[in-house]
A and B are shown apart, each in its own frame.
Chain A
Amino acid sequence: MNVAFCAAAAVTLVTTALAITRANAVHALLYFVVSLLGMAVIFFALGAPFAAALEVIVYAGAIVVLFLFVVMMLSLDRAAALRERSWMARSVWVLPAVFVALLGGALARAVFATAGGAVAPQVITPQAVGLRLFTTDLGAVELASMLLLASLVGAFHLGRK
């Protein structure tokens, strides 16, 4: 399990780094899909198979594919990729990288300074998740449905000609 986790973590990190540095939006999104599949493997290795399935079906399958369709609707051509590359000069990355490194140092300190302990080696079944979701967390489910409705109405309103 540890080998699977480490391999998937490496794939996820590398493809995410590639995704944020591509000039071509479609290539970047395809790398992002690979990173999401790696994330699904990580969830599986941690013992959360339902989350892994959701990550593939909902995130990689629905959300990113919607993103991909919209990027294709924007009909970005070679000139757009060139302009994109001109916006990505090396000097642009320096200041954000410094801030991100500072934040990363603080986060690494916070994570590794706390007490150790392994991820519990059992598997949480979809049954347990569903039981929790539709009994104690029912109010949150209703709130989520309202959020989706608000998003639907907003997208419909903004998309009107």
Chain B
Amino acid sequence: MIAWQLPAALAAALFLLGLLGLLARRSLVFVLMSIEIMVNATGLLFITAGMRWGNPDGQVMLIFVLNLAGAELALGLILILRLRARLTTLDGDAATLLRDT
């Protein structure tokens, strides 16, 4: 038997670790990875809630979370590649020129 608070607290801890990485890191690769960590923590919380009530909805929501993570990561990675080609750096602070070519 596992008390439901344990996986919920783990999900919160992972989310906070991801948030810490998101706030503290400057490299866009690590920013994107931190977002993935946070999305993944959300998935764990869905599974925990689903299993707490013995309901398949948690796993159904995990499938949608994975879907969202894949869609978001594809666009994020292509944006990193474009930024790297244009600015020749991965520094998020360097992207300040919001204008047309």
Contact = CB atoms under 8 A, between A and B. Distances in A.
Contacts, number: 223
Interface string A36-68: 100100110111101100110011001110110
Overall SS of chain B's interface: helix
Contact of B20 (A2, A96, A128, A131): A96
Contacts of B97: none
A100 B44 CA distance: 19
Interface string B35-46: 011001001100
A50 B73 contact: no
Interface string B85-99: 000001100000000
Given A5-B6, A70-B81, A154 B40 contact: no
A82 interface: no
Contacts of A122: 54
Given A63-B73, A120-B53, A144-B67, A29 B33 contact: yes
B51 A155 contact: no
Interface string B4-31: 1111111011101111110111110110
A20 B4 CA distance: 27
Contact of B69 (A2, A59, A121): A59
A147 B68 contact: yes
Interface of B: 1-10, 12-14, 16-21, 23-27, 29-30, 32-34, 36-37, 40, 43-44, 47-48, 50-60, 62-64, 66-75, 77-82, 84, 90-91
Given A67-B73, A120-B54, 12 more contacts: A13-B13, A16-B37, A39-B44, A50-B59, A51-B47, A87-B25, A120-B53, A124-B58, A133-B60, A151-B70, A154-B75, A154-B78
10 contacts: A9-B10, A17-B17, A71-B29, A74-B29, A108-B9, A114-B5, A116-B5, A137-B60, A147-B71, A148-B71
